[in-house]
Each structure stands twice: as C-alpha cells, then as structure tokens.
A and B are shown apart, each in its own frame.
Chain A
C-alpha cells in the first residue's frame, strides 16, 4: 500500500520538539495539557475514597465495604471490557476500529491499577473478616453444613491463586497488546506483528472468558454463598462491554475537545461505538431476563431467594427502575442513527450508561447489606467518585507521550476512510 509508508509527519513546534501528526494533520500526542486534570482527578479520587471510608465505618466497615465493592466492580468492568475489546478487534481483524484501538489499549492498562485497588476487598478475606463475604469467616462452613461441599473453593490459598490468575492474565495481556502495538509504531506497517497479535488473541479470548466468569463469581456471586447461576459470568461480561464502550466514546470526545484526533475519529467511528452500546444494552437485557425468568418459572427456593431479596419492599421499585432505565430508555433512545452519529447526543448516552451500570452493580451488591429496602448512602457515591477519579488519573498518566493512534498498523488508512452503512 503505497500511501501507508509515511504514516506520521513530524512537525516542529515552537519549542523545537517534534510532535507526531497524522498525514491528515491530526495531533496524536497528549502532552502536558492533561497534567492539571490528572492531578485533580487523583486528588478528588483519594479524597472521595477517604470520605467513603470515614462515612462507611472504617476500612472494615460494612457500609464502606459494600459501597467499595459496588464502585470497584463498576471500575473493573471498564478495564476488563477494554481488555476484551482489544482482543476481539485483533481476533476478527477489524479495520474500522484501528484508529481508535490505541485508546482502547490504553484503557486496558487500567487493569493494573484495578489490581491494586482490589486490596481493600481482599485483605478482609485473608484475615477472616466476614464484613462483606460471609464465607471469609474461618468457621463458616462448619455452621452451614449443607453447603460445606463448596468449602474448598473458598480456601484462602485457592482464592489467592485465582486472583493472581485473573489479574496476572489481564495485566499481561493488556501490556502485551499495548507493547506490541507500540513496537509496530516504530516499524512502517509490519504485518507480521499484526498476524502475531491475531494469533495470540484466540487463546487469549478463551482465557479471558474463564477469567471474567470466575472473577464475577468470586467477587459478586459469592456474596450469597448459597445462590448460583450458570449465566452469571455472562451477565457481568455484558456490563463490561457497555461501560467500556461508553468510556471509549467519552475518552475520544475528550481527546478531540483537546485538539487531538480531530479529523481521524469521525461520526462513523462514534456510530459503531454507539451500535455496540445499543446492541449490548439488548444483550444485557436478554441475559438478565433469562436469568430472572428461568429462576422465577421453576420457583425453586434455593434459587429464588436471591431474587426475593430484590423483589420486596422498596427493592421492588429499584428492580423496576433498573429494568426501565437499563433497557427501555436506552433501547428506544439509542435506536436511531441520528442519536449515535452526533457526539453531543452520544456523550449523553455514554454518561447515562455508565451511571445505570453503576446502579446495576449496586442492585447486585447492596441487598446483601440493606435487607429492608434501598438505602443509597453518601458512602456509595463517594466510593464511586473515588474509583472514577483514580481511573481517570491512571488513564491520563498512561496516555502521556504515547501515540494516540497505532501509527504502525498496516491497515490504518482503511480505518481512517471508513464509512458506515
């Protein structure tokens, strides 16, 4: 491809340093201008988390742990969704997304900070504190003999091993994809690297499926050690795709507002990202409804009690709210082309979806603590803000001085010219 040889032109700025640009003149480097936001976000994040700790009864306080878990799983879904998305783009050899893939790769690095942020949840488990997980208490299965057969699953060593596997695998995969892609930047369209990444993505996808399933089970499903659902991993996965795509859209919009990627990322790309948001809203609904309806229909008490907790008192209102807000509104709202091709309107939906996915996590976690009814507390919101702030800060840190577009990808030109149906 003749036109792909000179991917970037270096233009010398006033300072004398060269800032990489694309042939269409777009800036593709995030410089110092993001530092203010980065530090601010980190500050807000830390303060908010501290506030959540204080209002939540201390690091081992019940409210804090539940609020933190809600926010944590929300944040993790963005990072894990990014890992999935990058893997899938390589697996299918997708071309439309090449322009935006680097941003996805950068968002995937958030798994590193999420691994660290898991500690406030993991430490109580290892010291046997059952503030969040009943089974963390050492003698739990002696008092609950009817589920004692699953005790080996919860042995600290096995649990730790699994955590190491999940986060280790995600971190390795995220770093690998970013690293190889950046290496490709220094070449002029090395196809061998693209092929290598594609062949890695297939086994990577298999391990991803296993890791996201069991991570969701370990963190969320075991809040109620009796309950089980084979589709639970898929349910969480749907959230991952939704939050990631929303975050991707917002990140791209923010970058464009700061003068980067102005003509590279077009309405076509936003349209496709919006289509994923729409499609996975439907997918989430399908999975959520299947899980609910099958358990409702068979009416077996060892399964229905989980839904019972969410169907009485004010929790019923929360459940209705979740179904309307997570399905009906985005379904009708995001159906049309018109809604998805405009950044202002898509920004609304991206923020909306991020918010409603947080509420989905809340609906999964909080009935464990507030058995009598919905109780949204300040700790819930502060934990959420805290995680969000830290994620923003971490993403900006990682994005510093990295090409925002995989300039070395042999099919970049096709992606720049992509037009939707």
Chain B
C-alpha cells in the first residue's frame, strides 16, 4: 500500500517536472539517445560473450553457450603472458611515470625566474599534443639500428648498434620512458594549479620561522597537493588493466610480441585483425577485462575514502 502510494507520488512528480521543464527534456534528448545507442547498446551487445555468435543469426538468435568462451580463455596458453605483460607494463608505468610530474611541478613552482619557468613549461607541454602515431614514428626513427640517433650516439662512444625495437627485453622501458617524455610536462598542469591555491601566508609564516625552501616544499607544498595526488592515483590505479592500447599496438612487431602483447591488443587481434575473427571469444576477453577494471576502480576508491577522505564520487 505504502509502496504503491510512493510510486504514485513519484509518477506525479515526474509528470509535473516534464510538464514544467519539457524544453530541458527536449534539449537533452539527442545526447541521451546518443549515449543509449553508442554506449549502452554495446553493453547489451556484449552478451555475445556468452553465445556462439554467428553474423547471420544476430545477437539474439545466436546459440547460448554459457561460460565456454571464458573457460577457453582461462585455459589458453597465452593468458599468463597477457596478464603478466599487461600488469607489468602498467605497474612499471605507474611507478616510474606517476611521481615524475609531481617532482617537476614542485621544481617549477620553486623556480624564481618567471621567463625560465615559462620556457620550460611551454616546451615540455609540446609532446602531449603530438599524435600517438607520430610519437611511435619518432621512437622508431631514433632507435633505428642503422641510422637512428640513439645508435649513432652508441657508435660514437664505440659501442655496437642495438636493434631496440626487435628486442623483447627493451619494450617496456621504451614504452614507459617515451610516455614520460610525452606526458610528464603536461602532467604538471593540474599540480601547478593545486600549488597555486596554497595559502601564501603559510610560506610567509614558515620563512619567519627560518624554514629552508626544501623544508617548505616537504611540509607545505607536498601536503597541499596531496588530495590531488590521491585522486589522480585512484584514477591511474583504477585503469591498471587499460594500458595505452593504441601506442602498444603501434609499437608491436613480431620480434617483440613476447613482451608486448597485452589483453587489449589481444582482444583486437582475436576479434578484428584476423580474417576469421572470433567475435564471441574476443568479446568475452574484453568483457572480463572491463569487469576487472570496474571492480578495481570501486575498490581503490573505497580505500581512498577510508584513508584520505577524498574520492571520485
């Protein structure tokens, strides 16, 4: 009874709001349709992970096979390599890449010569705007065994040229270092804005007390940007299964595949890159990855909530 009355009341409320704000509903209609068609319909389509998809039968008509596709993935010999590569690349990237913009932002914040600061900022932001394809192209030019810059330097000092892109052991390092080169400068923007909102009184008081610049960085600047650091760490940790798919795909070649194949590139290859693409199997792997990712994001956010009272939502 009570439930029924509540639902009635809600219905009346919604109806009244639609009547009052019908134009707002009208305005938001197109974006809403876009989201439903291009974001939610694929989630509905992801059910082919549990089916044996045949194009002529369609999503609904294909035969239900339950967890067969997932079982196949867990039994496949690649799975451990894929996991190992995915996790090690993103953890490597997180450990090596995450602190860098923070240190850089703190250093920039200390710089007293404004023109020097501006020059460093403007230059180090540039690579962020270059496309992934061009970045990988640059990497390959520089590491070219015959006339690349890096090998010219190695030879200049009397070393033997190295085929970096063809050696599996270098893949992760090349990926992570080029990522730092491209994004560390731009990564400072958000920290610099957090630093600029720190109350200058704090610094003034610390100076009176005779604190050195280093002490002020540690005791004022760093705590001041900590909430921002935590939020960004959450976002990064939550997408640990989503390594830079495009860049890895572009950097791959048959020689380095042993260390460069990750879950997302494998999903692409199984599903679309081979002539006999297995849609269902590919979707199952992708779905598994999305679910793990989502759970990670929720867990990390819970931890952050408990530890630092900051969270994404």
Q: Do A and B bind each other?
A: no
> Chain B: residues with CB nearer than 8 A to chain A?
none
A interface with B by C-beta (< 8 Å): none
